[in-house]
Amino acid sequence: MTRVFLGWGALMATIFLVGLLFFGFGDPVNAALFGSTVVVMVAIAAVLTVSGLGRSLAGGARSLPDVSPPTLLLAVAIVVAVVGAQLGLWLALIGGGLGLLAVGGLVREARAQRRALRRAAPAPPMRRDGEGAA
């Protein structure tokens, strides 16, 4: 998948280079917009390569709660805080408080998830039809 990001970044870079023939180096907006596109793609490809996250894992189920109320609370907190920027500091502060609660809930959820993963045996990889049939 890393190649897809790099390849698409290369396509954007090629179009940018063709564009330079038309608008030269005198247009900082074009350079910034095209340049940031190429940089974002190269950065994603680099992160995937370095971290090894670019490889696909065969998809068994992982330990994950069926519901995550703190995530919902975090969303409410963000919306309240942002709208508070217009309607008043009091609302933004309420949003901030809710946000702290939500982050606490997410940390708790993550710990419980780690504990559950330690306790449980790793999920067997999903079978494909025909495998083990004999």
Partner 1 sequence: MSVAPSLAGRRPSLVELAAATDHKRIGLMTVVTALGFFFAGGLLALVMRTELAHSGMQFLDHDTYNQLFTMHGTSMLLLFAPAVVMGVGTYFVPLQLGAAEIVWPRVALLGFWLYLGGGLTAWSGFLTEGGAASFAWFAFLPLSDSAASPGTGSDLWVLGVGLSQLGVLLLACPIMATIVRRRAPGMTLLRMPLFCWSMVSTILMVLVAWPVILIAMTLLFVDRNVADVYTVGGGSVTYQNMFWFFAHPLVYVIFFPLIGVVGEVIATFSGRRFFGFRVTVFSQLLFAALSTSVWAHHMFTTQAVNNRFFSLTTTMIAVPAGIEYLAFLATMWRGRIRLKTPMLFALGFVLLFLIGGLSGIFVASPPLDYHVHDSYVVVAHFHYTMFGGTVFGLFAAIHYWFPKVTGRRLSEPLGRWHWALMVVGALLTFVPMFVVGYDGMPRQVADYAAFRGWDTLNLLSTVGAYTLLVSFLLFLVNVLRSRRVGEPAGPDPWRGQTLEWATASPPPRHNFDRLPPVRSYAPLLDLRLEEAAARRRARGRAAAGGGAAGGGAAGATEGAA
Q: Is 50 an interacting residue with respect to partner 1 (CB under 8 A)?
A: no
For the bound state, the minimum distance from the C-beta of residue 115 to partner 1, rounded and expressed in Å, comes to 17
Q: Is 86 an interacting residue with respect to partner 1 (CB under 8 A)?
A: yes
Q: Is 99 an interacting residue with respect to partner 1 (CB under 8 A)?
A: no
86 vs 119 by CB, closer to partner 1: 86
Q: Is 46 an interacting residue with respect to partner 1 (CB under 8 A)?
A: no
Residue whose tokens read 């330690």: 118
Q: How many residues of this chain bind partner 1 (CB under 8 A)?
A: 59
Token couple for 40: 């974002």
- Among 50, 124, 130, 134, the residue binding partner 1 under the rule CB under 8 A is 130
- Among 45, 74, 98, 99, the residue binding partner 1 under the rule CB under 8 A is 74
Cα–Cα distance, 1 to 3 (Å, whole number): 5
Q: Is 47 an interacting residue with respect to partner 1 (CB under 8 A)?
A: no
Cα–Cα distance, 59 to 71 (Å, whole number): 24
- The DSSP call for residue 64 is -
Residue whose tokens read 């793609």: 41
CA distances from 11 to 29, 49, 52 (A): 19, 20, 24
- The DSSP call for residue 120 is S
Token couple for 106: 């997410």
How many alpha carbons lie under 13 Å from residue 96 in its C-beta half-sphere? Answer: 8
39 vs 115 by CB, closer to partner 1: 39
Give the Cβ contact number of residue 70 at 10 Å.
20
In whole angstroms, how large is the CA radius of gyration of the chain? 23
For the bound state, the minimum distance from the C-beta of residue 61 to partner 1, rounded and expressed in Å, comes to 4
- The site for partner 1 (CB under 8 A) is made up of 1, 4-5, 7-8, 11-12, 15-16, 18-19, 22-23, 27, 29-30, 33-34, 36-37, 40-41, 44, 48, 53-62, 64-69, 71-72, 74-76, 78-79, 82-83, 85-87, 106, 125-130
